[in-house]
A and B are shown apart, each in its own frame.
Chain A
Amino acid sequence: MSRFIELKNHQREIYYFRLRLVLSLGFVAVMLLILLGRFFYLQVIRHGYFHTMAESNRIYVVPIVPNRGLLLDRNGVVMAQNYSGYTLEIAPNKVADIDALIAELSQLVTITPRDIKRFKKMLTERQALETMPLRSQLSDEEVARLSAQQFRFPGVEIKARLFREYPFSDVTSHLIGYVGRINQNDIDQLTQDEIASNYLGSDYIGKTGVEQSYERELHGTTGFEQVEIDAGGRAVRVLSRTAPLSGSNVVLTLDSKLQEVAEEAFGDYRGALVALDPTNGEVLAFISKPGYDPSLFIDGIDTETWDELNNSPDTPLNNRALRGQYPPGSTIKPFMALAGLHYNTRSPSTSIRDPGYFLLPGSRHQYRDWKTGGHGGVDLFKSIVVSCDTYYYGLATEMGIENMHSYLTSFGFGKKTGLDMEGETSGLMPSTEWKAKRYNQLWFPGDTVSAGIGQGYNLVTPLQLAFATATLANDGVAFKPHLVREIRPVKGAAVPTETRQLFDLQINPEHIKLVKSAMEAVTKPGGTAAGAGYGVAYRMAGKTGTAQVIAIKQGEKYDEKKVSEYNRDHAWFIAFAPADKPRIALAVLAENGGHGSSTAAPIARKVMDYYLLGKVPQPLKKVAEKAVSEDD
């Protein structure tokens, strides 16, 4: 009986299986009919149409490159624009022997070996259905000569193209960046982002700076034309056209005049300056000096110029403001002071005796103050005004590196600020954990001592320090620093960048008031930046700093004249103004500038004078620096 059921089940199963098989057969039949129907439609009903398309027409889809958006400063001054010029282009699939063609063309116009090399490289990289530029920026005379002879060269075209131009050249090179020819890496990246087809006709792509970070907005949407071409590859008739959409204009937060003033103020010094609006994070000036001529890079830089730039001891290609990492030196002191107040390590009125050096308990190693003999009795206010090292050696030691690390990190030290530009470095805020990981070493008490005055392992970027200064100026409320104020698309309304509050440290108002007043006193007689603050028409607050480039041995004294120029100390100055209602906060670094007071602070003064008073600077009056002649 049971065997019978099993058999019957098996038969039923086969029956059901075959039923499903027949159903699949039906499915196959229906699909085949669909295909047949489609073939019939294409090959019989629409045959005439497709026959014409294939036979009498040679139809190409030609990309139309959109105009790249302009870059404008906050007042509408053009920072990057386009100009049209003529290029000599070749459609490679219409030419049998490219080398022979180039040889013939070079009889008519100058074609350098570099042009040929670049063209050959492009041949292997781009799709064959477009024309490729062999030479750009033809002179009028060359255009005339070529046009007259063009009939001889099927596949050769003279095209009007747009080129990029940077009116401010090296003044804004590190901020604006540049566009350059699309290379294989770019193509791979575009393919990965699935926007490669939008770049079919494009030659250029943003490589650095704002040109890179706002590439998507600036590029626009490529249009295309279906064109009928003759046997020579020339377009005879446009069948359909989808217009390109120009890229958006990008309005920067930058004030180009301020940028120029700042650049000028550096004189012959190398260095960096970042100025922010503390109330919203807008970048007002962004200097990395020396800059370079961005136009060199647009069509590929030649080897000699590249070597020259790349091997220069002044490193003009290094974006110091964004990527340069320096010890903050004494500019860390206002933040240290806030940390000391926060953890109650120091009260506002606590005074210490400064004999001119600091000793760790049980050690005879002297950590020296910059001022031989010391500052005498020093409270928190004075410690900032005269930049007393001994005060901070002790404060750091008592506070401990972990508290220091935690408080300064909350201010943004050791972290990227998130500026809308690629390649930012994060600086370094050391901790015991970090040292264990990095060097597999214990944290020594001496490490804390030097960290207290911003030396040792500490590293900041000028951008980071400007950000921290702006945060301090704004009473602990930080806004995300940004370079772009507004995106203006061709169609539709402008899109303003949203001001983003990053954090609010909720600093005790008493603490911030004290530190700010001390920083204001820095620029007054008796302060380390009294010279730069002389005769200032608004309330300016600041702090000087010096970053050591080479270590000075115990018992020796640093002598500026004795060390070579590139080993001299870097000069720092951070500042904000007006002190009661800050509108600008900045960090200035003058590489190998020696003391913050004498080189960096005057630069800051000129920038602020222009921004707050509209005063175009003249050489500052020489002031006898009475109370304080040097800091650190």
Chain B
Amino acid sequence: MNARQLKQRLMLHLDPVLLAGLGGFMLVSLVLLYSASDGSWVRVLAQLGNIVVAFAAMWLVANMPLHWLMRIAVPMYVLGMILLLGVMTPLGVNSHGATRWLNIGVATIQPSELMKIAVPLMMAWYFEKNEASLKLRNYFIAAVLLVLPVGLIAKQPDLGTAILIAASGFYVLFLAGLSWRVMIGGAVAGLASAPFLWSALHDYQRHRILMLLDPSQDALGKGYHTIQGMIAVGSGGVLGKGYLNGTQTHLDFLPERTTDFIFAVWSEEFGLIGNLLLLGLYVFVIGRGFIITANASTYFTRLMAGSITLTFFTYAFVNMGMVSGILPVVGVPLPLISYGGTSMLTLMLGFGMLMSIHTHKKLVKS
């Protein structure tokens, strides 16, 4: 096997278009982290390590044949549920008032991250299995498969992850053809029961909800983040203050600036133009995801590809909305850019699946 053949073999199941988009994000992430950590290389190098690991994982998944994905769906979901329940036992690790991690002896893991992949996978698998005779009952069972892990995660509490998983599951339901009547009926019922639920809540529960909707009520806590984030974005203007020149970033005003609020750094330093470019990059990757979805060959792969693509968008939307002050601060990182290995890994596993779905179908055809 010569070098060219090797390269062909390695690239066989990768999608060059998607790969280019993802590479773009990695570049943005490293450049931005250097600024966000005040010119320190520590996080940049660590993130580089995360990227290498994530790409390797993506490559592995991309090379997995589709029936493998089908086969791992159930075990992965069951394992994820067991781990999630494990978090509620004394093995769960509490930090900053939330119990999200599980101590498995050698390390602590966050089962909810696994569920980001496992839940849509499981639901897509379920629909595929019952494709021939889909009834309302099947949608109901799929919804239960979704609600169980989401409930457990929301209870930890990890609202950000719970929302993302709920969204990914809802996309599967939607793409699987959940009837409009049920969706509209559900929405109407939800709205109608809201006043009753509200009056049934305790005062402190109401207070918490109001706090989430109006962060300025908690100007010393989460509201501080939002205020500083909005100042960073707004002061960036059209052209931005220039790379490494953001005052909000470099004078220590911006909290969480390498993680959840990294978008504020980008916005401050590169302005509206930069935001347009970044949105463009997201549109590029999401667009490619839609094309892959539209051409996917089986029911399972269509649902999975659609959910991965839409969830990726949701991720980005929730984070940017949160930083720019139109959504409450729920703790969702900017996908593929924020510092952190875990969310990068889960996202790239998703993209690996997209590539597998795309390339394995082509091979079948030829």
- List of A residues within 8 angstroms of B219 by Cβ: 61, 224, 226, 242
A584 at the binding interface (Cβ < 8 Å): no
- List of A residues within 8 angstroms of B253 by Cβ: 54, 58
- Is B231 a contact of A54 with CB atoms below 8 Å? yes
- Is B326 a contact of A43 with CB atoms below 8 Å? no
- With A and B bound together, what is the CA distance between A20 and B177 in angstroms? 8
Residues 210-242 of A, flagged 1 when their CB comes within 8 A of B and 0 if not, give 000000000000101010000000000000001
Of B220, B233, B275, B320, the contact of A63 (CB 8 Å cutoff): B220
- With A and B bound together, what is the CA distance between A55 and B241 in angstroms? 11
CB distance from B298 to the nearest CB of A (A): 11
- With A and B bound together, what is the CA distance between A614 and B306 in angstroms? 84
- Is B251 a contact of A58 with CB atoms below 8 Å? yes
- Is B237 a contact of A21 with CB atoms below 8 Å? no
- List of B residues within 8 angstroms of A63 by Cβ: 220
- Is B247 a contact of A43 with CB atoms below 8 Å? no
Enumerate A14-35 residues with CB–CB distance to B below 8 Å.
16-18, 20-21, 24-25, 28, 31-32, 34-35
CB distance from A93 to the nearest CB of B (A): 6
Residues 251-286 of B, flagged 1 when their CB comes within 8 A of A and 0 if not, give 111000000000000011001100110010001001
A114 at the binding interface (Cβ < 8 Å): no
Of A21, A35, A54, A61, the contact of B232 (CB 8 Å cutoff): A54
- Is B238 a contact of A43 with CB atoms below 8 Å? yes
Of B234, B247, B310, the contact of A49 (CB 8 Å cutoff): B234
Of B218, B230, B290, B293, the contact of A50 (CB 8 Å cutoff): B230
Known: A18-B294, A93-B252. A31 touches B175 (CB 8 A): no
Chain B, Cβ-Cβ closest to A197: B221
Of A43, A196, A200, the contact of B271 (CB 8 Å cutoff): A43
- Is A35 a contact of B233 with CB atoms below 8 Å? no
A615 at the binding interface (Cβ < 8 Å): no
- List of A residues within 8 angstroms of B97 by Cβ: 188, 191-192, 194
Chain A, Cβ-Cβ closest to B306: A21
Enumerate A457-487 residues with CB–CB distance to B below 8 Å.
none
B25 at the binding interface (Cβ < 8 Å): no
Known: A28-B313, A34-B326, A35-B317. A42 touches B234 (CB 8 A): yes
CB distance from A409 to the nearest CB of B (A): 32
CB distance from B215 to the nearest CB of A (A): 11
- Is B326 a contact of A38 with CB atoms below 8 Å? yes
- List of A residues within 8 angstroms of B220 by Cβ: 61, 63, 197-198, 200, 222, 224
B339 at the binding interface (Cβ < 8 Å): no
Known: A24-B171, A32-B279, A55-B247. A39 touches B313 (CB 8 A): no
B358 at the binding interface (Cβ < 8 Å): no
A500 at the binding interface (Cβ < 8 Å): no
- Is A50 a contact of B317 with CB atoms below 8 Å? no
- Is A50 a contact of B234 with CB atoms below 8 Å? yes
CB distance from B273 to the nearest CB of A (A): 10
B34 at the binding interface (Cβ < 8 Å): no
Chain B, Cβ-Cβ closest to A51: B235
CB distance from A534 to the nearest CB of B (A): 57
Of B231, B290, B294, the contact of A53 (CB 8 Å cutoff): B231
Of B175, B237, B310, B324, the contact of A35 (CB 8 Å cutoff): B324
Known: A61-B220, A61-B224, A224-B220. A31 touches B313 (CB 8 A): yes
- With A and B bound together, what is the CA distance between A191 and B99 in angstroms? 13
Enumerate B41-60 residues with CB–CB distance to A below 8 Å.
none
A44 at the binding interface (Cβ < 8 Å): yes
- Is A28 a contact of B286 with CB atoms below 8 Å? yes
- Is A35 a contact of B321 with CB atoms below 8 Å? yes
- List of A residues within 8 angstroms of B275 by Cβ: 39, 43
A550 at the binding interface (Cβ < 8 Å): no
A120 at the binding interface (Cβ < 8 Å): no
B208 at the binding interface (Cβ < 8 Å): yes
- Is B175 a contact of A50 with CB atoms below 8 Å? no
CB distance from B288 to the nearest CB of A (A): 13
Chain A, Cβ-Cβ closest to B208: A194
Enumerate B210-231 residues with CB–CB distance to A below 8 Å.
218-221, 224, 227, 230-231
- Is A17 a contact of B302 with CB atoms below 8 Å? yes
- Is A43 a contact of B177 with CB atoms below 8 Å? no
B181 at the binding interface (Cβ < 8 Å): no
A117 at the binding interface (Cβ < 8 Å): no
- List of B residues within 8 angstroms of A55 by Cβ: 235, 247
- List of B residues within 8 angstroms of A538 by Cβ: none
Enumerate A218-274 residues with CB–CB distance to B below 8 Å.
222, 224, 226, 242
- With A and B bound together, what is the CA distance between A226 and B293 in angstroms? 50
- Is B175 a contact of A24 with CB atoms below 8 Å? yes
- Is A20 a contact of B174 with CB atoms below 8 Å? yes
- With A and B bound together, what is the CA distance between A17 and B296 in angstroms? 11
CB distance from B291 to the nearest CB of A (A): 10
- With A and B bound together, what is the CA distance between A191 and B324 in angstroms? 25
Chain A, Cβ-Cβ closest to B248: A54
Residues 536-557 of A, flagged 1 when their CB comes within 8 A of B and 0 if not, give 0000000000000000000000
Known: A43-B275, A44-B272, A58-B251. A35 touches B320 (CB 8 A): yes
- List of B residues within 8 angstroms of A353 by Cβ: none
CB distance from A108 to the nearest CB of B (A): 28
- List of A residues within 8 angstroms of B235 by Cβ: 47, 50-51, 53-55
- Is A31 a contact of B317 with CB atoms below 8 Å? yes
A36 at the binding interface (Cβ < 8 Å): yes
B236 at the binding interface (Cβ < 8 Å): yes
Chain A, Cβ-Cβ closest to B313: A28
CB distance from A274 to the nearest CB of B (A): 33
Chain A, Cβ-Cβ closest to B272: A43
B365 at the binding interface (Cβ < 8 Å): no
B137 at the binding interface (Cβ < 8 Å): no
Chain B, Cβ-Cβ closest to A60: B253
A503 at the binding interface (Cβ < 8 Å): no
- Is B236 a contact of A43 with CB atoms below 8 Å? yes
- Is A42 a contact of B238 with CB atoms below 8 Å? no
- List of A residues within 8 angstroms of B279 by Cβ: 32, 35-36
- List of A residues within 8 angstroms of B233 by Cβ: 39, 42-43, 50
A8 at the binding interface (Cβ < 8 Å): no
- With A and B bound together, what is the CA distance between A44 and B271 in angstroms? 10
A40 at the binding interface (Cβ < 8 Å): yes
- Is A44 a contact of B324 with CB atoms below 8 Å? no
B96 at the binding interface (Cβ < 8 Å): yes
CB distance from A260 to the nearest CB of B (A): 39
- List of B residues within 8 angstroms of A196 by Cβ: 221
- List of B residues within 8 angstroms of A51 by Cβ: 234-235, 237
CB distance from B310 to the nearest CB of A (A): 6
Known: A43-B272, A50-B235. A28 touches B326 (CB 8 A): no
- Is A54 a contact of B317 with CB atoms below 8 Å? no
- Is A39 a contact of B321 with CB atoms below 8 Å? no
Enumerate B316-350 residues with CB–CB distance to A below 8 Å.
317, 320-321, 324-326
Scoring A38, A43, A226 by chain B CB atoms within 10 A of each residue's CB, the highest score goes to A43
CB distance from B221 to the nearest CB of A (A): 3
Chain B, Cβ-Cβ closest to A222: B220
- With A and B bound together, what is the CA distance between A194 and B279 in angstroms? 35
A46 at the binding interface (Cβ < 8 Å): yes
- List of A residues within 8 angstroms of B326 by Cβ: 34, 38
- List of B residues within 8 angstroms of A192 by Cβ: 94, 97
Residues 300-323 of A, flagged 1 when their CB comes within 8 A of B and 0 if not, give 000000000000000000000000
Chain B, Cβ-Cβ closest to A198: B220
Chain A, Cβ-Cβ closest to B207: A194
24 A-B residue pairs with CB within 8 Å: A17-B175, A18-B294, A21-B290, A21-B294, A24-B175, A24-B310, A31-B313, A32-B283, A34-B326, A35-B279, A38-B324, A42-B324, A43-B237, A43-B238, A47-B238, A54-B235, A54-B247, A54-B248, A58-B251, A191-B96, A192-B94, A194-B208, A222-B220, A226-B219
Give me 11 other A-B pairs in contact (C-beta within 8 A), A39-B233, A51-B234 excluded: A16-B177, A20-B177, A21-B294, A21-B306, A24-B174, A31-B317, A36-B279, A47-B237, A47-B238, A54-B231, A128-B252
* Nearest 8 pairs of A and B residues by beta carbon: A50-B234, A197-B221, A54-B235, A42-B234, A192-B97, A191-B97, A197-B220, A50-B235
